[in-house]
Amino acid sequence: MIAAWSVEDVRAAEARAMEPLPDGELMDRAARGLAKVVTARLDDIEEPRVVALVGSGGNGGDALFAMARVARSDSDADVAAVLVSDRGAHKKALVAAREAGVAIVDLARSGADEAHDEALEKACALVAEADVLIDGITGIGGSPGWSGSSAQRCRALIDAVDDEAYVIAVDLPSGADPAGVVLDSEGVWADETVTFGVAKPVHLLGTSARCGVLTLVDIGLDMTTMPVAERLDHDDVAQLWPLPASDDDKYSRGVLGVVAGGENYTGAAVLTVTSAVCAGAGMVRYIGPPTPTALVRSAVPEAVCGIGRVQAWVVGPGLDADAESDPDADGEDVAQVTAATEALDSGLPCVVDAGGLDLLDGPRPRAGARTLLTPHAGELARLLTRLEEREVSLDDVRADPVGHARRAATLVHATVLLKGSTTYVVPPEITGMPVRAVAEAPAWLATAGAGDVLAGVAGVLLAAGLDPYDAGTLAATVHGLAGHDVNPGGPVRALDVAFATPAWSPG
Ligand SMILES: NC(=O)C1=CN([C@@H]2O[C@H](COP(=O)(O)OP(=O)(O)OC[C@H]3O[C@@H](n4cnc5c(N)ncnc54)[C@H](OP(=O)(O)O)[C@@H]3O)[C@@H](O)[C@H]2O)[C@@H](O)CC1
Ligand SMILES: Nc1ncnc2c1ncn2[C@@H]1O[C@H](COP(=O)(O)OP(=O)(O)O)[C@@H](O)[C@H]1O
Ligand SMILES: [K+]
């Protein structure tokens, strides 16, 4: 599990770690780790040119101390540092860098505008030549985007970076929100981020794509609080996935009931049931009108059609929840919605997706019934608009996905799995548990039916006894990994993702 702590908790842990140590030791550990990574990345480059962009705080300090080490290494590198702030740079680090032979370009506005513009132009030319760009402008002390007197300089310097250059962010990409809340701020997009001690939310939440590969340098922090965000790694997938025991039978492994796909969205029935069967359900029971039932019977012979005992439900993919109130609706459609409502009224664990969300007015009637909601952003906006009786737009949700998922989780007493390029699994506030973020999926997975497949996998995990928090995170992780494996770098169809799931549900 990769865990991330809030900036406040990281700062407190740094202060605790620093207390018994000699002055500067922690930064030295950070710089040593960073320099090691940078020199390793120079291995294949002939006479590499390394340029560091350096801000006035601790982040710039790390960068300068590391550049001093790189300049002294036997890497043959040509090392320069551009100081971007009017307030200069970390004094001791600057001395160390100068003494090691790092070329320093100071952009502090000290004279006439023309002189400054000329210096900036020269610095941009230097940056454009860099094989490796070290971004040490801001770290956890940065606010999202560029601001203050150095904003224009930062913008120009980052624009000048060559597309081929390898960009290493120090601690986090400058301009990104350290808290991972503001998602679209301008700033650096890194190929690799070298962070210190522990990950921060920026590395795991919706800002994670701009961090590139995450490399963690141990500086001896001891965290005493709960993380605020988590991400599963491959070991977690292997550990969490429920395995059948030798004395299990199909019932004890967990029977999943699926209420999905009416006469209109027949495919949702096939996709959800197929994915549940592929993910290793003990048994899948399908409940729906004649057309999707016939399709399920022919496409998924393992499934059993009709009502019976189950351990968990998937309610809603492709379900027409209005059928009950529509006088023209077919009796079979109405019966399916009745089955959906009965599932929601039961105390059994339930994945509630798509049309099923329209049947929720608040918490499920049986207190403590394990519930996983799986909306995409539009469905979450609609659900909140209804439950809170005020307009919540798609843009609102996109601007603060975790906050909105949290609101729904709290209102419905459920874990909310909010689907998207980063999928968030958000438990109710009262649990105090971290947000889980999943960003394994390729953008190709944004395809019709992929959500139905996800619901099927999550349902199987609930039926096997996992709680909604683990079931949701595990399902989204495996779904994303399978989405990649089906056709790396190219288009995927949802049914193939279902077929690829077994490879990721380990034994
Ligand atoms: N503490 C420790 O023991 C350890 C700390 N460590 C390291 O220190 C880092 C934290 O250092 P920190 O607190 O000095 O803040 P930091 O991230 O360098 O930035 C602050 C400066 O940035 C600027 N600035 C801010 N926002 C901006 C914006 N939007 N746009 C433009 N500029 C902006 C602003 O400067 P100004 O421009 O006003 O001069 C502000 O003063 C941490 O991430 C890690 O790398 C490691 O060595 C491990 C041990
Ligand atoms: N840009 C993206 N990158 C990666 N995965 C994505 C992206 N956009 C959507 N997804 C994933 O694709 C799936 C789409 O689900 P959903 O919108 O419910 O589709 P449907 O209702 O057609 O089945 C979700 O698992 C979601 O996380
Ligand atoms: K940085």
**452 annotated ligand binder:** yes
Q: How far is the CA of 60 from the centre of ligand 1 (A)?
A: 7
33 assigned to some structural domain:
yes
Q: How far is the CA of 421 from the centre of ligand 2 (A)?
A: 7
Residue 62: φ, ψ to 5° = -55, -45
Q: Pick from 174, 199, 231: which residue ends a domain? A: 231
Residues 345 and 406 in one domain: yes
Measured from the Cα of 144, ligand 1's closest atom is: 29
Predicted confidence at residue 328, as pLDDT, reads: 80
- The dihedral region occupied by 20, where left means phi > 0, alpha psi between -120 and 50, and beta the remainder, is alpha
Retrieve residue 174's tokens.
Answer: 């400058």
Whose CA is closest to atom 22 on ligand 2? Answer: 448
Which has the closest alpha carbon to 372: 325, 436, 319? 436
Measured from the Cα of 86, ligand 1's closest atom is: 39
Q: How far is the CA of 170 from the centre of ligand 1 (A)?
A: 10
Q: What is the DSSP letter of 22?
A: P
Integer-rounded Cα Rg, in Å, for the chain is: 26
Residues 184 and 258 in one domain: no
Beta-bridged to residue 71, according to DSSP, are: none
Residue 205: which CATH number? 3.40.50.10260
Whose CA is closest to atom 13 on ligand 1? Answer: 141
Q: How far is the CA of 139 from the centre of ligand 1 (A)?
A: 5
Judge whether 126 and 162 are in contact, CB under 8 Å.
Answer: no
Residues 44 and 193 in one domain: yes
Retrieve residue 380's tokens.
Answer: 């979450």
In a 10 Å sphere around its CB, with 0-12 CB exposed, 13-18 middle and 19+ buried, how is residue 299 labelled? middle
Beta-bridged to residue 15, according to DSSP, are: none
Measured from the Cα of 17, ligand 1's closest atom is: 3
25 assigned to some structural domain:
yes
Distance of CA 243 to the CA centre of its chain: 26
Measured from the Cα of 420, ligand 2's closest atom is: 27
pTM (two decimals): 0.94
Residues 147 and 286 in one domain: no
Relative to the alpha carbon of 439, which ligand is closest? 2
Could you tell me the residue range of the domain that residue 225 belongs to?
A: 2-231
Residue 258: which CATH number? 3.40.1190.20
489 assigned to some structural domain:
yes
Q: What is the DSSP letter of 85?
A: -
Predicted confidence at residue 329, as pLDDT, reads: 80
**376 annotated ligand binder:** yes
Predicted confidence at residue 160, as pLDDT, reads: 98
ipTM: 0.92
Predicted confidence at residue 143, as pLDDT, reads: 97
Judge whether 460 and 280 are in contact, CB under 8 Å.
Answer: yes
**422 annotated ligand binder:** yes
**341 annotated ligand binder:** no
247 assigned to some structural domain:
no
Whose CA is closest to atom 16 on ligand 2? Answer: 451
Residue 496: φ, ψ to 5° = -65, -35
Across the beta sheet with 213-217, the strand order is 103-106, 78-83, 49-54, 132-136, 166-170, 192-196, 213-217
480 assigned to some structural domain:
yes
Q: How far is the CA of 268 from the centre of ligand 2 (A)?
A: 14
Judge whether 450 and 497 are in contact, CB under 8 Å.
Answer: yes
**472 annotated ligand binder:** no
**419 annotated ligand binder:** yes
Question: Ligand 1 site: residues with CB under 6 angstroms?
Answer: 14, 18, 26-27, 30, 55-60, 62, 85, 87, 138-143, 145-148, 150-151, 154, 170-171, 196, 219
Predicted confidence at residue 272, as pLDDT, reads: 98
Distance of CA 157 to the CA centre of its chain: 28
Q: Pick from 231, 265, 282: which residue ends a domain? A: 231
Residues 209 and 323 in one domain: no
Retrieve residue 108's tokens.
Answer: 């502090």
Measured from the Cα of 154, ligand 1's closest atom is: 31
* Cα–Cα distance measured from residue 126 to residue 210, given in angstroms and rounded to the nearest whole number: 23
**92 annotated ligand binder:** no
Q: How far is the CA of 179 from the centre of ligand 3 (A)?
A: 14
Residues 320 and 191 in one domain: no
Relative to the alpha carbon of 58, which ligand is closest? 1
Judge whether 370 and 462 are in contact, CB under 8 Å.
Answer: yes
Beta-bridged to residue 498, according to DSSP, are: none
Q: Pick from 177, 196, 231: which residue ends a domain? A: 231
Residues 43 and 186 in one domain: yes
Relative to the alpha carbon of 178, which ligand is closest? 1
Q: How far is the CA of 56 from the centre of ligand 3 (A)?
A: 11
DSSP states of 389-401: TS---HHHHHHSH
Relative to the alpha carbon of 444, which ligand is closest? 2
179 assigned to some structural domain:
yes
Q: How far is the CA of 8 from the centre of ligand 1 (A)?
A: 14
Residue with tokens 């995990």: 461
Relative to the alpha carbon of 218, which ligand is closest? 1
Predicted confidence at residue 111, as pLDDT, reads: 73
Residues 225 and 315 in one domain: no
**Total domain count, the chain:** 2
Let me know the angle formed at the C-alpha of 265 by 264 and 267, rounded to the nearest 5 degrees.
135
Pinpoint the alpha helices (H) of 245-330: 266-278, 290-299
Among 140, 147, 158, 193, which residue has the most ligand 1 atoms within 8 Å of its CB, making it the best to mutate? 140
CB proximity list for 433: less than 8 A, separation 6 or greater:
226, 427, 469
Q: Write out the E strands in 183-342.
A: 192-196, 213-217, 229-231, 255-259, 283-287, 304-305, 312-315
Residues 188 and 268 in one domain: no
Residues 386 and 286 in one domain: yes
**pLDDT tens, residue order, the chain (507 aa):** 999 999 999 999 999 999 999 999 999 999 999 999 999 999 989 999 999 999 999 999 999 999 999 999 998 899 999 999 999 999 999 999 999 999 999 999 877 788 889 999 999 999 999 999 999 999 999 999 999 999 999 999 999 999 999 999 999 999 999 999 999 999 999 999 999 999 999 999 999 999 999 999 999 999 999 999 999 999 999 999 999 999 999 999 999 999 999 888 999 999 999 999 999 999 999 999 999 999 999 999 999 999 999 999 999 999 988 887 788 888 888 999 999 999 999 999 999 999 999 999 999 999 999 999 999 999 999 999 999 999 999 999 999 999 999 999 999 999 999 999 999 999 998 999 999 999 989 999 999 999 999 999 999 999 999 999 999 999 999 999 999 999 999 999 999 999 999 887 765
Residues 180 and 266 in one domain: no
Question: Ligand 2 site: residues with CB under 6 angstroms?
Answer: 354, 376, 419-421, 423, 441-443, 445-446, 448-452, 454, 479
Beta-bridged to residue 50, according to DSSP, are: 79, 132
246 assigned to some structural domain:
no
Q: How far is the CA of 140 from the centre of ligand 3 (A)?
A: 8
Judge whether 458 and 372 are in contact, CB under 8 Å.
Answer: yes
Beta-bridged to residue 285, according to DSSP, are: 257, 304
Judge whether 462 and 312 are in contact, CB under 8 Å.
Answer: yes
In a 10 Å sphere around its CB, with 0-12 CB exposed, 13-18 middle and 19+ buried, how is residue 391 labelled? exposed
Distances (CA, A) of 467 to 117, 313, 368: 59, 13, 11
Residues 191 and 259 in one domain: no
236 assigned to some structural domain:
no
